[in-house]
Amino acid sequence: MSIAATVSPAPNAAIANIGGYLTICSNDSVLLGPTFGVNANCTYQWMQNGANIYGATNAYYAAYRPGSYSVVVSNNGCVRTSNILNTTTVAAPTDSVLRYDHTVLCPGVQGVILWADTSAGLPQSYQWLMNNTPVAGATTATYAATIPTVYSLKITDATTGCSIVTRPVDIVQATGPLPVVNYMYPKFTTGTFNNYQWYMNGTAIAGATRATLQPTQSGAYTVGVTDNNGCTGMSANFYFTYSGVQSIAKEDVNIYPNPANDMVYINVPVAVNAMVYSMDGRTIFNGKEVKMIDISTWASGVYLIKILDGSSVVRIDKLIKK
């Protein structure tokens, strides 16, 4: 009686590091796998330092830890153990913060400057990413972002080859401020912004850095402003003719109550200055752009109140403190 026997060759178990390196970066892994492709009839069991790795039964294995790796390959009862690959670990770059002054693209500005921290002085290479896609030629530590989108930076240690990608930064487009100059006697006004600079005939007016300006000369007035995004804007020209004459009449001013005990109110269509004198000529009060005067602490008696439009006297009245 004879029995037919079939001899099966032992499966090919040679393995290699896919990608060509055995150094494991601390934030990454190396891929190990068969050198002659995957045989669907084979089963696999990966081992680290001679011990089975639980659940590691695919043809490929991603090694995160240093050690000696091999794989046992089985086919039709035939078993073969692969060669051993030894891996080591090196530190990846640790700085994952992208530096920038702001994240807003202002109109007319060439770009938002992004940069990497190079203070450690390590040999590194750089690749800027836009929406996770490499930007051609953008391989320096600094980049001017001109398109509103998401940016990040891949930093590679030139010594170890390990890389890290920074946390993304979303650059957005701003419309920029559009200031408008309005005139309500005796001042120019504009909107609410962070900073102001007024100009006359294109020249900056020294100290004119508030939201309002009282003009004293004829000319073309503009205001440059900065908003809370750091964007700047310039108004159109406002052509102003300065007359230097009184613009309100005595009848336009209403001082009440009079007599009064606590507060005296000045009702007038424009901002005015006010001065109050005692009957012996002493100045008791001198205020600019006055709407009310607190007289609660004054001595009872008769005073003179003078209302001025700039330096022009509009009205002089008696003011009686009860």
Model confidence over 175-212: pLDDT tens digits?
Answer: 999 999 998 877 899 999 999 999 999 999 999 999 99
Cα–Cα distance, 257 to 77 (Å, whole number) = 112
pLDDT at position 244 is: 60
Arithmetic mean of pLDDT over the chain:
88
pLDDT at position 243 is: 67
- Domains of the chain from N-terminus onward: 15-90 (2.60.40.10), 99-173 (2.60.40.10), 182-240 (no CATH), 250-321 (2.60.40.10)
Tell me: pLDDT of 2 over 60: no
Closest CA to 177 of 104, 235, 222: 235
List alpha helices for 108-228, DSSP H.
none
pLDDT at position 129 is: 97
Contact 318, 302 (CB under 8 A): yes
Q: Rounded mean pLDDT of 132-158?
A: 95
Tell me: pLDDT of 300 over 70: yes
Contact 276, 303 (CB under 8 A): yes
- pLDDT digits 0-9 by tens, 160-179: 888 999 999 999 999 999 99
C-alpha distances out from residue 187 to 77, 170, 172, 254, Å: 98, 41, 36, 21
- pLDDT digits 0-9 by tens, 59-85: 999 999 999 999 999 998 899 999 999
Secondary structure (3-state) at 16: strand
pLDDT at position 9 is: 63
- pLDDT digits 0-9 by tens, 243-287: 665 457 777 789 999 999 999 998 887 778 899 999 888 999 999
- What are residue 194's phi and psi, to 5 degrees? -80, -40
pLDDT at position 21 is: 77
Tell me: pLDDT of 213 over 90: yes
Residue 38's Cβ-side half-sphere holds a number of Cα atoms within 13 Å equal to: 10
Strand 312-321 and strand 301-309: the pairing is antiparallel
pLDDT at position 170 is: 96
pLDDT at position 5 is: 46
Q: Rounded mean pLDDT of 116-141?
A: 91
